[in-house]
């Protein structure tokens, strides 16, 4: 008698995953599972840490350690200094700052690898719970990693991805372990203090409830109550229900939507967009191939919902990338699956897993010398210009204000704690009119001198790619002097006091 498989909510397992005993008896199925998790981790381990969304999080975590209180105002940028900041990601900042205090940059690389491995492990387990045999679950997890790669940067969103994958796994296995849906409430409490994607927890439960109710399955009452509990759990944070308005305001902020690529709809011109549309094509092809065995629309509802989320913004692609393989695991599992009865064990399997693990360790060793606050070199940090940082340490005086490339703002405020930058990564806190003035100055639009004068800027730290139109104009202006340049950018210092100055920005940070 055949049993119908469903999407993300299916809890059927095609075959047991038999653990081997002993170091030399790792089974082939375990090798596939290890490859699904370790190979993507190995790929990312060779990439730099991204400072643009990391450095200010470390600084915020340090401040909270020192003050023993949640940071609720902006103390980094001149444009937003003292303005209220709904710091919904405060717990993620504590986690990151703890890793940095304990292990420096090496500690951050280690926690990035751990979080990635946890995400992929939960995706794999969810595919297994949805009905896929081990080898198929491994391939689906590897396919998931393709669009996920760009999302594996160390920032609060990565912790949100862990929460999402764990929730998807608990929902997928609810047939065999119905008590697991209650754990989602505890995950949601953490999630609501880590990242603004917390609203996806009750959404996953709601989608599962719709599917089960349509197929007259038991457990819908537990799902409904767990969903309500998850909704209430989102308010267990220092800001209560206001985290919902924070998430909405962030997603609809006009400056963010117009200027931050990750908040714009995906296109094939960037890696994540191309990987996303390829995945949509593959999913559609596999579903069309099932034309004679149609899938109930409720089982495909998660695909439709997360497709819409992904089409709205590149950031949404990461959620789609985790949901799609789990749905496919349920949809494809009612095809005749290859038997896992022949699951050989032996030293070759151990060698394969060992080589993958050693390759990751080898990449981590490169970071071993950077177990403190010293700035890594050799391209290990992106959006953290080494030469410019070194020169600023030499010439910058305490309290001087920097007009900066926005992409470097997070790094500069982390590295120079006695100085303010004009703008940084907290786009939603800075007034909108300041952003349009900032972009006008960066483009060298007429009146840029008056804007810098009114802001009382002392030093201009410009990126060649972001301020290419301003650079030749400030070079030709007698009021500014070039003091440093390299392939990444230039530093200019004011050589004359502005005739008229309406100082609206503070002169020093905490």
**pLDDT exceeds cutoff 60 at 51:** yes
C-beta contacts of 463-471 below 8 A and 24+ residues apart:
463/385, 463/405, 463/407, 463/408, 463/488, 463/489, 464/488, 464/489, 464/490, 466/405, 466/406, 466/407, 466/442, 467/405, 467/442, 469/442, 469/443, 469/444, 470/441, 470/442, 470/443, 470/444
CB 27 within 8 A of CB 20: yes
* CA gap 341, 28 in Å, rounded: 11
The answer to whether the pTM exceeds 0.75 is: yes
Q: Which of 269, 270, 300 is nearest to 283 (CA)?
A: 300
pLDDT in tens, 415-432: 999 999 999 999 999 999
* CA gap 304, 178 in Å, rounded: 25
Burial class (CB in 10 A: 0-12, 13-18, 19+), 188: buried
The backbone torsions φ and ψ at residue 236, rounded to the nearest 5 degrees and listed phi first, read -85, 80
Which residues sit opposite 484 in a β-bridge? 491
pLDDT in tens, 251-303: 899 999 998 999 999 999 999 999 999 999 999 998 888 766 777 788 889 99
* CA gap 414, 402 in Å, rounded: 13
pLDDT in tens, 53-73: 999 999 999 999 999 999 999
Would you state the structure tokens that stand for residue 326, as one six-digit string?
């789990």
* CA gap 1, 261 in Å, rounded: 51
Would you state the structure tokens that stand for residue 321, as one six-digit string?
């990338």
Least reliable range by pLDDT among 353-357, 381-385, 405-409, 502-506: 502-506
* CA gap 223, 205 in Å, rounded: 6
Return all residues near 245 (Cβ < 8 A) that are at least 6 apart: none
pLDDT in tens, 319-338: 999 999 999 998 886 544 45
Residue 25 binned pLDDT confidence (cut-offs 50, 70, 90): confident
State the pairing for strand pair 489-494/49-50: unpaired
Residue 481 binned pLDDT confidence (cut-offs 50, 70, 90): very high
Would you state the structure tokens that stand for residue 47, as one six-digit string?
């990439």
* CA gap 266, 414 in Å, rounded: 31
């Amino acid at each position: 008698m055949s049993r119908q498989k469903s999407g993300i909510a299916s809890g059927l397992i095609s075959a047991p995953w038999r653990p081997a005993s002993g170091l030399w008896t790792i089974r082939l199925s375990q090798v596939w599972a290890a490859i699904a998790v370790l190979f993507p981790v190995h790929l990312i381990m060779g990439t730099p840490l991204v400072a643009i969304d990391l450095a200010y999080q470390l600084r915020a975590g340090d401040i909270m350690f020192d003050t023993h209180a949640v940071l609720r105002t902006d103390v980094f940028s001149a444009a937003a200094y003292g303005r209220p900041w709904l710091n919904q990601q405060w717990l993620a900042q504590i986690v990151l700052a703890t890793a940095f205090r304990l292990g420096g940059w090496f500690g951050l690389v280690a926690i990035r690898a751990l979080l990635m491995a946890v995400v992929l492990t939960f995706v794999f387990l969810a595919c297994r719970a949805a009905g896929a045999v081990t080898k198929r679950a491994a391939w689906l997890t590897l396919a998931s990693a393709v669009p996920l790669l760009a999302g594996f940067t160390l920032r609060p969103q990565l912790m949100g991805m862990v929460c999402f994958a764990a929730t998807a796994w608990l929902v997928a296995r609810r047939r065999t372990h119905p008590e697991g849906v209650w754990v989602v409430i505890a995950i949601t409490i953490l999630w609501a203090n880590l990242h603004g994607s917390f609203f996806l927890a009750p959404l996953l439960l709601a989608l599962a409830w719709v599917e089960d109710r349509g197929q007259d399955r038991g457990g819908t009452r537990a799902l409904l109550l767990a969903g309500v509990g998850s909704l209430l759990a989102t308010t267990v944070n220092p800001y209560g229900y206001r985290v919902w308005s924070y998430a909405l305001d962030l997603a609809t902020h006009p400056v963010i939507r117009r200027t931050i690529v990750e908040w714009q709809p995906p296109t094939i011109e960037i890696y994540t967009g191309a990987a996303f549309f390829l995945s949509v094509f593959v999913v559609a092809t596999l579903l069309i191939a099932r034309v004679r065995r149609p899938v109930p629309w409720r089982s495909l509802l998660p695909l439709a919902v997360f497709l819409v989320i992904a089409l709205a913004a590149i950031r949404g692609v990461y959620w789609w990338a985790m949901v799609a393989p789990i749905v496919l695991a349920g949809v494809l599992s009612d095809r005749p699956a290859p038997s896992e009865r022949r699951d050989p064990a032996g030293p070759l399997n151990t060698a394969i897993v060992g080589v993958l693990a050693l390759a990751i360790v080898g990449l981590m060793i490169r970071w071993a010398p950077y177990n403190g606050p010293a700035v890594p070199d050799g391209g290990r940090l992106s959006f953290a210009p080494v030469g410019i940082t070194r020169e600023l340490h030499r010439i910058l005086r305490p309290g001087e204000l920097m007009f900066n490339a926005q992409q470097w703002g997070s790094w500069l405020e982390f590295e120079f704690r006695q100085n303010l930058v004009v703008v940084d990564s907290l786009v939603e806190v800075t007034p909108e009119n300041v952003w349009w003035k900032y972009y006008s100055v960066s483009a060298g639009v007429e009146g840029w001198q008056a804007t810098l004068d009114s802001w009382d800027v002392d030093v201009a730290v410009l990126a060649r790619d972001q301020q290419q139109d301003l650079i030749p104009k400030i070079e030709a202006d007698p009021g500014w002097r070039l003091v440093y340049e390299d392939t990444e950018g230039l530093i200019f210092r004011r050589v004359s006091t502005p005739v008229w100055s309406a100082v609206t920005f503070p002169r020093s940070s905490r």
